[in-house]
Amino acid sequence: MNLKGFILMFIISCSLFAQQEEDDTEVYVDDHYLEDQFYLGVQYNFLTGTKNGIKNTGVPFSIEAGFIKDIPLNKQRNKAIGVGAGYNFDVLRPNIAITKNGNDLIFNIDDNYNRYDYTSHNLEFPLEYRWRTSTATNNSFWRIYSGVSFIYNIQNSASFDDNNGNTTSFNNLTQLNKTNFTLYTSIGFGTWNFHVKYYLNSPFKDSLRTGNGEKLYFNQLKIGVMFYIL
């Protein structure tokens, strides 16, 4: 065998050996994968069930972030329970103003202010049922996550700007509910998901009345986007 033939046979042998090594290499697939996820959401705050002329002003919004632990329910791992904890920042802008009369705070439906802000910092604890088309090797998939969450308020405030540019502020209002419950659903593919959340109770306590004896009641409906990050 001449030198050229020897070199050709050597190259072919090395190629076949490398191919065999590649075929024999096992690709590890984690059949016990979890969809533990960080989440970040941005929503618009609608008011539903309003009475006595209560309406939205400005742009009320909500931002939430947290972590959800995945607990699979079947071998395929496309069905699971999610348990999480997070932070929720809410800005509501109903046309409800507060004035002070001695030691008392008077709430009234009043359209004579330029800006209304009710802000709250909350802890949120979601519990959800999770359906998805994920696999151990696919991180982009369809999902429907639906559940309930418990809201615990840790701080709130209200401020109002009148027509003269004066601002009136109040902190830690006891007239607002300390806790609330929500129903929610996230539907989407990959990172981007449509998110809707409905609050079962009004932000204001059921016993609260205006100076005219009117009940202040409405529910929050949040519609926006939710991002899930593995």
What pLDDT digit, counting tens, does each position of 98-117 carry?
A: 998 888 899 999 888 899 99
| pLDDT tier for residue 28 given thresholds of 50, 70 and 90 | very low
| pLDDT tier for residue 180 given thresholds of 50, 70 and 90 | very high
- Report the C-alpha gap between 227 and 128 in whole angstroms: 16
Decide which of 143 and 14 is more confident: 143
Q: Does position 125 have pLDDT exceeding 70, yes or no?
A: yes
Contact between 115 and 161 (Cβ < 8 Å)? yes
The rounded mean pLDDT for the chain is: 86
- Report the C-alpha gap between 50 and 25 in whole angstroms: 65
Helix (H, G, I), strand (E, B) or coil at 109: strand
Task: Give alpha helix (H) positions in the chain.
Answer: 3-24
Kindly state the tokens that stand for 36: 């533990």
Helix (H, G, I), strand (E, B) or coil at 18: helix
Measuring CA to CA, which residue among 103, 102, 67 is closest to residue 83?
67
- Report the C-alpha gap between 116 and 99 in whole angstroms: 13
- Report the C-alpha gap between 68 and 127 in whole angstroms: 9
What pLDDT digit, counting tens, does each position of 205-228 carry?
A: 988 888 888 888 899 999 999 999
Please classify residue 96 by burial: count the beta carbons closer than 10 Å to its beta carbon, then call 0-12 exposed, 13-18 middle and 19+ buried: buried
Helix (H, G, I), strand (E, B) or coil at 128: strand
Average pLDDT (116-127) is 97
Q: Given its phi and psi angles, is residue 58 left (phi above 0), alpha (psi -120 to 50 degrees) or beta?
A: left
Q: Does position 48 have pLDDT exceeding 80, yes or no?
A: yes
| pLDDT tier for residue 78 given thresholds of 50, 70 and 90 | confident
Q: What are the DSSP E strand ranges found in 49-166?
A: 61-72, 79-92, 96-101, 104-109, 115-132, 142-161
* Topology given in CATH for the domain delimited by 33-229: Porin (2.40.160)
**First-last CA distance in the chain:** 59
| pLDDT tier for residue 7 given thresholds of 50, 70 and 90 | very low
- Report the C-alpha gap between 149 and 200 in whole angstroms: 10
pLDDT score for 154: 97
Residue 209, CA distances (Å) to 46, 114, 221 in order: 22, 23, 22
Q: Does position 12 have pLDDT exceeding 90, yes or no?
A: no
- Report the C-alpha gap between 115 and 111 in whole angstroms: 10
Kindly state the tokens that stand for 15: 């190629």
Q: Does position 29 have pLDDT exceeding 60, yes or no?
A: no
Average pLDDT (128-137) is 84
